[in-house]
């Protein structure tokens, strides 16, 4: 009976049971400014309203009981209020700004990022290949950034008074042990890896994350492409060789392969250089990236193999006939990583890399065969508690084994050592406000070889000073083991240490970026030895030390002049150190006081061409002149280089590229070599150390054949 | 690169018109809550209150968790409004929001060519904003999506139109013949004549645009 009664009641007085409740209130931001346009609604129901100019909203609903009111507005964090519907009146709602916004401060001290959607890009991925002086080498492009020193005859990265060994390279977070191809003295090396396989590059000149260790000065982080955009074949024909690349995609996986063959023989036949080549530089290299999606996880396997060889006679003041030098190097590198999103905003990352390098060096009658195998294992966990609080921690293990056989007329020797390092790190990112962020990290390492533990705290902090400007501060402690040329003779040492203090100012608006950074670095426990080169008889100690301080400026603008993009970098460096066999503290020969780079790119629409220009200046570098008193007391002339390039887009997929390095043919002197013994007047004779060639010409044709592009092309061929 | 794609903006001029045809309703049956909500949203959109329309679509999306259309339209309004946005901070916020709703729609409806086209248009919004910076990364991605959408629905005139228009822009820039794409556009126009959306409130735009391109670029 009761049910019947209710049914009748319902039919007769439906309004009693579907009584409308009025919901009302106002929406503000955290400063109390009303928000207009916010979407206010009951979750899962259709009822809601859009807030008006004064933030006011009102709507009626037939829902009853406890409900969730959702308030969402673009670039603010969505708020939810769960309560009795009847009490949802005259609500006052404050929305917090979403920190995942371009306006949020970023910790920028020490680092340059080249990516697509990172907030501030000093460099774009394409810059790597279109910088006139870089010749397609990503390291060459990075050398136009402040904080680097021009050491033209070396080709590696020298950062803020640190030598080239103080920079470590990581691919997908995993260490690369031998990032450069070996070369002879005075011939610049190139990065081994093709820039086309990477879509994100972060170059840090100091104060970097606790995740990275074994680097005193700098880290270079390269990320391989997660998912290639399309299937394609790339063909490159160059005056120095050729290359073929191919990308194939399947439902869940993809593979990119890249091979190249370089032979400088024809070029050197046309334009002979200062070296006497018995066998000009020749290399074969192959790289592959395989990616496979497993649910929410991504597996990436990167492998690279290269083999290079050459033989030449180089001028030498102590040897009238010149110095014979030959090299044969095989290098294999592989790296696998797996990244997976877990529940509750956890992310797990696991990775491993393995390198095997075999080098055979011959100079005069001596042959040295060395084998170096190294591995890196890493596991990292990350928890995003909130957009404003992220915690990550992990552990890693480095394993390396070195073996060398030394043979000449009189001696045969074998040297070997194993160097294993275990490390653990933890780091937290806290974004207090859009204008205030902090990163705290701690890294601990244990070296089995030295039976020694080190602890490195790292802190950085960023504060937004205006709409487009911010200040960052960073402090960090960094440790690195001595190099294998020392460890092969002596294991009774400690890790070398630096401390970085960095203050950074950054202004970025309308495609213009200005950065200024001052820093101070302290070096401790640098390795010293007693002879000219480390050897069996040398005495080793960790008694070296030093400092570096300076100012780095960077300006990039692609707004002021139409179709023109340019950047200017200037670095001032003041550094002295006592290490290796230095009798006194001195400025090393790779460090100079002033460095300036100007890089410009101008797009000429009518010609479908990009014209590139770059100018590099480096002030004089130190050398020891035995004819006067002192050590590293003299300086060379400054270094000047103007380079030009031209990229012509023949069709969407065909590019013709030409470049000239050192257009003005400036004669740059990298240093001097002095005779071991004085002449009859008691004078030590010297010769200039010049680059192998003053100028370098390059012409290449690059053709991409892709699936959807084929229509375009074949229709018109 | 930026020139290759600025033409896309025009594409959206005719887009809102689609809403109209969707609102036509068989009056015989009492409309459901869903139908009433969708109609209200399209009306707001027609009255140039696109943000309010987006808010209504968003509300419907939270109630109809297995229907891809409400999140699709939230994303579409955010994408369309981004084409004229000059403030990068706002642009990123809108496109982030659009991306979230596309992701939501994709989770409901897999391999949906309309969502692929919308995703490609989202990339295009970035390219239009700064072709030099985003062109390199996003144009191949957009190209791939246009090709993929057409492969899934080879007889859908909207997919034919979207891909032909994209390819035509690049051909024009490089001074190549647009003839093959004109043929495709004609094919799209022919197919539009008999095109029936799969269901109520399904996207049905494109015919006007196809005729406009034909008039402007083909003879």
pLDDT per residue as tens digits for the range A470-500: 999 999 999 999 988 899 888 889 999 999 9
Q: What is the pLDDT of residue A711?
A: 34
Picking from A44, A102, A709, the nearest residue to B62 by CB comes out as A44
Q: How much of chain A exceeds pLDDT 90, in percent? A: 51
CATH class (in words) of the domain with range A111-714: mainly beta
Distances (CA, A) of A120 to A144, B130, B176: 18, 14, 37
Residue A698, pLDDT > 80, answer: yes
- Interface touch A48/B59, C-beta < 8 Å: yes
Query: Which chain B residues have a beta carbon less than 8 Å from that of A101?
Result: 89, 92-93
Strand order in the sheet with A48-50: A48-50, A39-42, A66-72, A79-84
- Interface touch B147/A565, C-beta < 8 Å: no
Q: What is the pLDDT of residue A124?
A: 64
- Interface touch B140/A706, C-beta < 8 Å: yes
- Interface touch B59/A199, C-beta < 8 Å: no
Query: Which chain A residues have a beta carbon less than 8 Å from that of B3?
Result: 605
Residue A314, pLDDT > 60, answer: yes
Instruction: Say which range, A123-127, A277-281, A425-429, A597-601, has the weakest mean pLDDT.
Output: A123-127
d(CA B178, CA B169): 9
Q: Does B172 touch chain A (CB under 8 A)?
A: no
d(CA B70, CA A443): 48
Give every CB contact of residue A145 below 8 A, 6+ residues apart in sequence: A112, A122, A123, A203, A205, A554, A569, A597
Highest mean pLDDT among A251-255, A366-370, A499-503, B26-30: A499-503
- Interface touch A116/B137, C-beta < 8 Å: yes
Picking from A44, A565, A605, the nearest residue to B132 by CB comes out as A565
Q: What is the pLDDT of residue A558?
A: 81
Chain A contact probe: residue of B6, B93, B180 with most A CBs at under 10 A: B93
pLDDT level of residue A705 (50, 70, 90 thresholds): confident
Query: Which chain B residues have a beta carbon less than 8 Å from that of A511?
Result: 130, 133
The Cβ-side half-sphere exposure at A712, using a 13 Å CA radius, reads 27
Q: What is the pLDDT of residue A13?
A: 46
Specify the CATH number of the domain A2-95. 2.60.40.1120
Residue A707, pLDDT > 80, answer: no
Provide DSSP, A87-149: G-SSEEEEEPBPSSSTTS----TTEEEE-SSSS--SS-TTHHHH-GGGTT-HHHHHTTSTTB-
pLDDT level of residue A573 (50, 70, 90 thresholds): very high
Picking from A46, A101, A651, the nearest residue to B60 by CB comes out as A46
Residue A380, pLDDT > 90, answer: yes
Query: Which chain B residues have a beta carbon less than 8 Å from that of A711?
Result: 167, 180
Query: Which chain B residues have a beta carbon less than 8 Å from that of A706?
Result: 140
Query: Which chain A residues have a beta carbon less than 8 Å from that of B36?
Result: 46
Q: What is the pLDDT of residue A597?
A: 95
* Nearest residue to A301 via CA among A114, A172, A202: A172
CA distance A274 to chain B (A): 40
Q: What is the pLDDT of residue A174?
A: 93
Q: What is the mean pLDDT of residues A618-639?
A: 93
Q: What is the pLDDT of residue A608?
A: 82
Residue B87, pLDDT > 60, answer: yes
For chain B, domains (ranges, CATH) are 2-14+33-217 (1.25.40)
Q: What is the pLDDT of residue A468?
A: 86
pLDDT digits (tens, 9 = 90+) for A149-171: 988 888 889 999 999 999 999 99
- Interface touch B51/A37, C-beta < 8 Å: yes
CA distance A173 to chain B (A): 22
Q: What is the pLDDT of residue A650?
A: 81
User: Which is it for strands A253-263 and A218-224: parallel, antiparallel or unpaired?
Assistant: unpaired
Q: Does B16 touch chain A (CB under 8 A)?
A: no
d(CA A296, CA A339): 8
pTM recorded for the entire structure: 0.84
Residue A585, pLDDT > 60, answer: yes
d(CA A89, CA A24): 5
* Nearest residue to A519 via CA among A578, A485, A480, A478: A478
- Interface touch A75/B90, C-beta < 8 Å: yes
Positions of CATH 2.40.170.20 in chain A:
111-714
Residue B2, pLDDT > 90, answer: no
- Interface touch A125/B55, C-beta < 8 Å: no
ipTM of the complex as predicted: 0.83
The SS3 of residue A75 is coil
* Nearest residue to B89 via CA among A627, A484, A99: A99
Q: What is the pLDDT of residue A126?
A: 63
Which one is predicted more confidently, A548 or A9?
A: A548
Cα torsion angle, A52, A57, A58, A63, sign: positive
Instruction: Say which range, A26-35, A399-408, B61-70, B100-109, has the weakest mean pLDDT.
Output: A399-408
Which one is predicted more confidently, A247 or A455?
A: A455
Positions of CATH 2.60.40.1120 in chain A:
2-95
Q: What is the mean pLDDT of residues A706-710?
A: 56
- Interface touch B176/A46, C-beta < 8 Å: no
Q: How long, in residues, is chain B?
A: 219
- Interface touch A39/B92, C-beta < 8 Å: no
pLDDT digits (tens, 9 = 90+) for A8-63: 444 444 444 457 889 999 999 988 999 999 999 999 888 999 999 999 999 999 88
pLDDT level of residue A439 (50, 70, 90 thresholds): very high
pLDDT digits (tens, 9 = 90+) for B88-121: 889 999 999 999 999 999 999 999 999 999 999 9
Picking from B55, B136, B167, the nearest residue to A39 by CB comes out as B55
């Amino acid at each position: 009976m009761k049910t019947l009664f209710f049914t009748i009641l319902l039919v007769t007085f439906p309004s009693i049971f579907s009584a409308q409740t009025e919901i009302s209130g106002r929406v503000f931001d955290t400063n109390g400014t009303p928000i207009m346009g916010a979407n206010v609604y009951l979750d899962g129901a259709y009822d809601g309203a859009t807030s008006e100019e004064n933030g006011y909203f009102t709507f009626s609903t037939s829902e009853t009981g406890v409900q969730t009111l959702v308030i969402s507005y673009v670039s603010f964090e969505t708020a939810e209020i769960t309560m009795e519907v009847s009490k949802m009146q005259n609500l006052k709602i404050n929305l917090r700004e979403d920190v995942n916004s371009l306006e949020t401060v970023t910790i920028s001290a020490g680092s340059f990022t080249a990516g697509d959607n990172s907030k501030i890009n000093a460099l774009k991925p394409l810059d790597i290949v279109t910088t006139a002086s870089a010749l397609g080498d990503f390291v060459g492009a990075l050398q136009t950034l402040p904080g680097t020193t021009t050491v033209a005859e070396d080709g590696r990265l020298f950062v803020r008074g640190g030598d080239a060994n103080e920079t470590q390279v990581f691919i997908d977070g995993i260490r690369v042990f031998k990032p450069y191809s070996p070369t002879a003295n005075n011939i610049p090396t190139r990065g081994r890896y093709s820039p086309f396989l990477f879509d994100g590059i972060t170059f840090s000149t100091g104060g970097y994350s606790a995740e990275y260790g074994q680097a005193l000065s700098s880290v270079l982080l390269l990320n391989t492409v997660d998912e290639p955009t399309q299937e394609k074949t790339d063909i490159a024909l160059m005056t120095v060789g050729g290359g073929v690349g191919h990308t194939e995609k399947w439902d869940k996986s993809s593979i990119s392969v890249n091979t190249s063959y370089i032979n400088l023989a024809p070029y050197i036949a046309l334009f002979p250089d200062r070296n006497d080549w018995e066998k000009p530089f020749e290399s074969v290299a192959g790289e592959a990236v395989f990616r496979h999606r497993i649910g929410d996880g991504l597996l990436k396997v990167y492998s690279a193999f290269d083999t290079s060889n050459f033989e030449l006679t180089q001028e030498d003041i102590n040897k009238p006939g010149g110095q014979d030098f030959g090299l044969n190097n095989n290098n294999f590198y592989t790296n696998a990583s797996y990244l997976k999103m877990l529940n509750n905003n956890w992310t797990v990352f696991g990775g491993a890399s393995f390198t095997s390098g075999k080098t055979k060096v011959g100079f005069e009658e001596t042959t040295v065969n060395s084998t170096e195998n190294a591995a890196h294992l890493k596991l990292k966990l990350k928890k995003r508690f909130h957009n404003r609080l992220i915690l990550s921690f992990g552990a890693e293990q480095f394993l390396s084994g070195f073996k060398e056989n030394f043979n000449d007329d009189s001696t045969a020797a074998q040297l070997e050592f194993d160097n294993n390092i275990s490390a653990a790190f933890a780091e937290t990112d806290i974004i207090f406000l859009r204008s205030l962020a902090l990163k705290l990290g701690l890294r601990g390492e244990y070296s089995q070889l030295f039976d020694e533990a080190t602890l490195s705290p790292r802190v950085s902090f960023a504060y937004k000073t205006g709409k487009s400007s911010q200040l960052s501060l960073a402090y960090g402690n960094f440790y690195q083991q001595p190099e294998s040329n020392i460890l092969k003779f002596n294991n009774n040492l400690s890790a070398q240490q630096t401390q970085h203090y960095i203050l950074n100012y950054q202004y970025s608006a309308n495609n213009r970026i200005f950065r200024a950074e001052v820093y101070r670095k302290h070096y401790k426990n640098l390795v010293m030895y007693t002879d000219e080169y480390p050897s069996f008889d040398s005495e080793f100690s960790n008694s070296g030390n030093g400092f570096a301080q300076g100012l780095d400026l960077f300006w990039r603008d692609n707004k002021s002049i139409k179709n023109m993009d340019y950047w200017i970098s200037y670095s001032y460096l003041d550094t002295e150190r006592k290490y290796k066999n230095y009798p006194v503290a001195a400025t090393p020969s790779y460090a100079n006081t002033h460095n300036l780079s100007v890089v410009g790119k101008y797009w000429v629409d009518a010609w479908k061409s990009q014209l590139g220009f770059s100018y590099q200046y480096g002030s004089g570098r130190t050398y020891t002149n035995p004819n006067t008193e002192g050590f590293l007391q003299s300086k060379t002339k400054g270094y000047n280089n103007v380079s030009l390039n031209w990229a012509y887009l023949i069709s969407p997929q065909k590019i013709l590229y030409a470049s000239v390095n050192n257009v003005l043919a400036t004669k740059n002197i990298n240093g001097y070599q002095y005779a071991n013994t004085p002449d009859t007047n008691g004078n030590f004779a010297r010769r200039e150390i010049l680059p192998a060639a003053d100028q370098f010409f390059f012409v290449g044709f690059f053709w991409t054949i892709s699936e959807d592009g084929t229509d375009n092309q074949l229709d018109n061929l | 690169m930026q020139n290759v794609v600025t033409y896309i903006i025009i594409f959206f001029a005719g887009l809102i018109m689609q809403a109209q045809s969707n609102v036509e309703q068989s009056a015989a049956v009492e409309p459901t809550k869903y139908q009433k909500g969708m109609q209200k949203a399209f009306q707001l959109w027609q009255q140039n209150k696109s943000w309010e329309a987006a808010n209504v679509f968003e509300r419907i999306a939270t109630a109809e968790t297995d229907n891809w259309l409400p999140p699709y339209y939230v994303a579409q309004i955010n994408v369309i409004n981004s084409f004229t946005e000059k403030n990068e901070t706002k642009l990123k916020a809108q496109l982030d929001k659009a991306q979230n709703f596309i992701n939501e729609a994709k989770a409901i409806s897999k391999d949906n060519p309309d969502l692929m086209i919308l995703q490609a248009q989202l990339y295009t919004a970035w390219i239009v904003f700064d072709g030099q910076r985003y062109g390199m990364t996003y144009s191949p991605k957009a190209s791939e999506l246009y090709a993929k959408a057409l492969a899934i629905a080879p007889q859908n005139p909207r997919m034919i139109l979207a891909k032909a228009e994209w390819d035509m822009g690049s051909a024009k820039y490089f001074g190549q013949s647009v003839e093959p794409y004109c043929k495709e556009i004609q094919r799209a126009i022919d197919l539009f004549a008999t095109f029936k959306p799969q269901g109520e409130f399904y996207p049905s735009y494109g015919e006007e645009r196809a005729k406009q391109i034909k008039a402007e670029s083909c003879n």
